[in-house]
Amino acid sequence: MDSPYGLLAELTYRCPLACPYCSNPLNMAGYQDELATDEWRRVLAQACDLGVLQCHLSGGEPLLRRDLAEIVADAHDLGLYTNLITSALGLSPPRAEQLRAAGLDHVQISIQADEPTVSDRIAGTPSFQRKIEAMGVVKELGWPLTMNVVLHRHNIDRVAEVIGLAEEMGADRLELANTQYYGWAWRNRDALLPSRAQLKAAETVVRAARERLRDRMDVIYVIPDYYSRYPKPCMGGWASRQLTVTPNGDVLPCPAAQSLPLPRASVREDSLRWIWAESAVMTAFRGTDWMPEPCRSCFRREVDFGGCRCQAFLLTGDAARTDPVCYLSPHHDLVAQAVEAANADSRDNDLPLVPRAHRPGRLSHRTTTAAPQRR
């Protein structure tokens, strides 16, 4: 594609939850100097000019931005379809009414499990009931509701109950996404990776639910990469369909790419159009010319584009190598060993989880239109 159709606007990495699978960066200190309201206004205008149609407002927790309604209104005035991706902590009825008036189009709420004790334990804080109440507010205001559940070893056995909860809440779309192992999830991989038996049971439940609910609710199920024969295409191909703007203004082809040793590009220094077309971070793995063997001569090179660059880097230390998820990769044994450990008879199902650190505390953020000041 010549231009992206989706913008992931990561407004802040601050979050009231401590989920152990969070894909946000481990180094939170590098993202405290958040873009101000006027900077986001400029980003949205440039994104619209570039051809972007959808704006996904995420984090962290975007509701921690006091200027969220202003950002939504700006995106709405530009004709962008806006989707709020939220934990729902802070989505009170008055705040929801404010966002509805600003033109917000869609709400996606994450929940950790179908049952309060399990959900709160995974989230690291009491939050289940507040999420349920927020879903009710979303439906009352007439928004489409997506319920998102990240699946892993500690909750995948309850996927039938999760689907039941989505039905009860009147969700229009349910995303059952097995954990992707970046950020905190990478640190917790051994404790999160489910067994083959767990996956088989979950897939049976999901297939039946898809058939039963096909006229009422979209059920999306994403299997974990580690159990695939081939890797998934990296965001439809590196820097081909979407871009991410992080809280400090860095621009990336995907949310996890901040881990890669690539030159940075920032909206504080260059336009989105130049960054998309010319910057090293966007062109490094675009297309197929960069590919090594066996990708270069593989019939799937324009299907999965060599897989995930971030996953290749985390597993091998080289982002240009074939994603080790692929069974043809010379490093596939790294994935096979992790899967073998997850399926070992002696495997401890209660391995400790390291919670996401750096909760919001008293960290403030600018909502003024003044030029940004370095902290």
Q: What is the mean pLDDT of residues 229-246?
A: 91
Owner of token pair 């403030």:
364
Token pair recorded at residue 155: 């909750």
Q: pLDDT digit string (tens) for 101-141?
A: 999 999 999 999 999 999 999 999 999 999 999 999 999 99
Token pair recorded at residue 147: 């319920």
Name 104's Cβ contacts closer than 8 Å, sequence gap at least 6.
Answer: 72, 76, 82, 84, 143
Helix (H) or strand (E) holding 242: strand 242-245
Q: What is the mean pLDDT of residues 59-68?
A: 97
Name 177's Cβ contacts closer than 8 Å, sequence gap at least 6.
Answer: 148, 149, 150, 151, 220, 222
Q: pLDDT digit string (tens) for 165-177?
A: 999 999 999 999 9
pLDDT at 347: 63
- Three-class DSSP category at 211: helix
pLDDT at residue 368 above 90? no
How far apart are alpha carbons 228 and 106 in whole angstroms? 31
Confidence of residue 28 (pLDDT cuts 50, 70, 90): confident
Helix (H) or strand (E) holding 110: strand 106-110
Looking at 55-59, 186-190, 369-373, which range is the least confident one?
A: 369-373
What share of the chain has pLDDT > 70, as a percent?
Answer: 94
Q: Are 164 and 114 in contact (CB under 8 A)?
A: yes
Q: What is the mean pLDDT of residues 260-289?
A: 95
Looking at 23-37, 119-133, 220-234, 340-354, which range is the least confident one?
A: 340-354
How far apart are alpha carbons 125 and 17 in whole angstroms? 6
Is 310 annotated to bind ligand?
Answer: no
Q: What is the mean pLDDT of residues 246-260?
A: 94
Token pair recorded at residue 101: 């008036």
Confidence of residue 360 (pLDDT cuts 50, 70, 90): very low
Rank 16-30, 234-248, 264-278, 337-351 by mean pLDDT and report only the highest: 264-278
Residue among 117, 211, 87, 109 at smallest CA distance from 166 = 109
Token pair recorded at residue 265: 């590009």
How far apart are alpha carbons 88 and 279 in whole angstroms? 35
pLDDT at 24: 85
Largest distance between two CA atoms of the chain: 59
Residue among 211, 200, 221, 111 at smallest CA distance from 157 = 200
pLDDT at 351: 74
Is 19 annotated to bind ligand?
Answer: yes
pLDDT at 140: 97
Q: Are 63 and 93 in contact (CB under 8 A)?
A: no
Q: Could you tell me the CA-to-CA distances from 54 to 63, 103, 234 in Å, in that order? A: 19, 13, 19
Confidence of residue 271 (pLDDT cuts 50, 70, 90): very high
How far apart are alpha carbons 148 and 216 in whole angstroms? 17
Owner of token pair 């966002």:
99
Helix axes 93-102, 128-140, angle to 10 degrees: 40
Q: What is the mean pLDDT of residues 62-89?
A: 98
pLDDT at residue 348 above 90? no
Is 295 annotated to bind ligand?
Answer: no
- Kindly state the DSSP code that residue 225 receives in the 8-state scheme: G
At residue 83's C-alpha, the angle toward residues 77 and 89, to 5°, is 120
